[in-house]
């Protein structure tokens, strides 16, 4: 990457689509990531948790009053891989830690990946992972792990007659035993399962122990079915879905990334696309022959990121070669049309991506 070209031609301190965005954002490991989020989520079915905030992480977040009746909350995050789903999960976990009083930090987060199949076995895996996380990772000594294990062994010795939950009494008893000694919020974060009945079983089985149960899934339909069932049971449940971006939303995404990197004194305002042209974004939304009447072209953010990065990288490489030949001062006298990425460069980037 040519840092001097980004700075002198485009007034950017660094690449607006750089390596940071190759992996999910995680403010738990880098608090600066909070300001890097772009709100590409549908919050309509999540009344108690709302909207990305560049300063607070999340603009609306449930307080203790929200847990007065149910004691727990299920958050379903739906979307395909690399669409902001994992980044949102990390932001929620960061917010839980941020809102926890200092004496009770950090929250204890039990994280695991499950498979569809034997639901009783899935709940047993959650229980085993919790004991390991609570005692071995976080060093909590009361109650002792051996005491937790005895309770689980007794519960799993016989098969449950219900298919709505498994070993729920175990998690409830663990809550009663841990609470006098550990005030840290207990959070469960699960991925891998997607059927609505499985999601429901996970929550109903564990809700007495965990304050938040967070599930990431690539199946929005099953997530919505689960949400409806639990909402009818008066449970605290929310569904947030990562959405594809239309032309207008894509422009907002590019504006936000560029403005975050703009240097002071830049001639380009918050609504500038430079180093991209409006035609460059238009090219991403060219209507093809397969588009039906009334249909709109939308893209996942991951595709937009990859395309814009590839186009900008190609532009920087061409300008770098020119700089080596003519010097950086010569670049600063280039006409705007020679600095700006146009529609054809975007089409070439799209072709390159589709070949990989």
Report the pLDDT value the prediction gives residue 81, as an integer from 0 to 100: 80
CA angle centred on 26, ends 245 and 266, rounded to 5°:
65
Collapse the DSSP code of 216 into the 3-class scheme (helix H, G, I; strand E, B; otherwise coil) and give the result.
strand
Report the pLDDT value the prediction gives residue 162, as an integer from 0 to 100: 82
| Backbone dihedral angles phi then psi of residue 274, each to the nearest 5 degrees | -55, 125
Q: How far is Cα 147 from Cα 142, in angstroms, rounded to an integer?
A: 9
Give the predicted TM-score (pTM) of the model: 0.93
Report the pLDDT value the prediction gives residue 333, as an integer from 0 to 100: 86
For the chain, give every domain's residue range.
Answer: 3-19+246-355, 41-240
Report the pLDDT value the prediction gives residue 82, as an integer from 0 to 100: 80
Report the pLDDT value the prediction gives residue 269, as an integer from 0 to 100: 95
Residue 95: both structure tokens together: 């917010």
Using only C-alpha atoms, the chain has a radius of gyration, in whole angstroms, of 24
- Residue whose structure tokens are 């004194």: 265
Report the pLDDT value the prediction gives residue 279, as an integer from 0 to 100: 96
Nearest CA to 255 out of 308, 325, 219 is that of: 308
Question: Which CATH number describes the domain made up of 41-240?
Answer: 3.40.50
Report the pLDDT value the prediction gives residue 105, as an integer from 0 to 100: 83
Residues 201, 207, 209, 213, CA torsion sign: positive
Tens-level pLDDT at each residue, the chain (356 residues): 489 999 999 999 999 999 999 999 999 999 999 999 999 999 999 999 999 999 899 999 998 888 877 789 999 999 988 889 999 999 999 999 999 888 888 899 999 999 999 999 999 999 999 999 999 999 999 999 999 999 999 999 988 778 899 999 999 999 999 999 999 999 999 999 999 999 999 999 999 999 999 999 999 999 999 999 999 999 999 999 999 999 999 999 999 999 999 999 999 999 999 999 999 999 999 876 566 666 789 999 999 999 999 999 999 999 999 999 998 888 888 888 889 999 999 999 999 998 86
């Amino acid at each position: 990457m040519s840092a001097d070209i980004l700075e002198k031609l485009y007034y950017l301190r660094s690449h607006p689509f750089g390596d940071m965005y190759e992996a999910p954002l995680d403010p738990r490991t880098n608090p600066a990531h909070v300001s890097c989020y772009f709100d590409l989520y549908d919050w309509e079915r999540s009344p108690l948790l709302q909207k990305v905030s560049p300063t607070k992480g999340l603009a609306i977040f449930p307080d203790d009053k929200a847990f007065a009746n149910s004691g727990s909350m299920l958050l379903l995050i739906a979307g395909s891989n690399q669409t902001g789903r994992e980044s949102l999960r990390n932001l929620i976990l960061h917010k839980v830690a941020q809102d926890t009083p200092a004496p009770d930090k950090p929250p204890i987060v039990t994280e695991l990946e499950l498979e569809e199949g034997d639901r009783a076995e899935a709940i047993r895996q959650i229980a085993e992972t919790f004991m390991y996380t609570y005692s071995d990772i976080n060093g909590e000594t009361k109650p002792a792990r051996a005491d937790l294990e005895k309770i689980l062994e007794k519960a799993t010795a016989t098969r449950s007659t219900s298919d709505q939950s498994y070993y729920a009494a175990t998690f409830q008893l663990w809550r009663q035993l841990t609470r006098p000694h550990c005030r840290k919020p207990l959070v469960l974060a699960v991925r891998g399962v997607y059927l609505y009945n499985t999601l429901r079983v996970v929550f109903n089985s564990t809700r007495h122990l965990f304050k938040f149960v967070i599930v990431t899934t690539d199946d929005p339909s099953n997530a919505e079915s689960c949400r409806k069932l639990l909402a009818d049971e008066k449970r605290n449940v929310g569904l947030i879905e990562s959405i594809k971006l239309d032309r207008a939303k894509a422009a907002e995404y590019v504006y936000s990334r560029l403005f975050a990197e703009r240097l002071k004194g830049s001639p380009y305002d918050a609504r500038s696309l430079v180093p991209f042209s409006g035609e460059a974004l238009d090219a991403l939304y060219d209507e093809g022959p397969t588009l039906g009447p009334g249909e709109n072209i939308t893209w996942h953010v991951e595709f937009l990121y990859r395309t814009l990065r590839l186009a900008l990288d190609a532009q920087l490489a061409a300008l770098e070669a020119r700089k080596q030949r003519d010097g950086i001062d010569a670049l600063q006298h280039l006409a705007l049309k020679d600095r700006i990425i146009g529609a054809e460069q975007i089409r070439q980037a799209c072709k390159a991506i589709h070949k990989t």
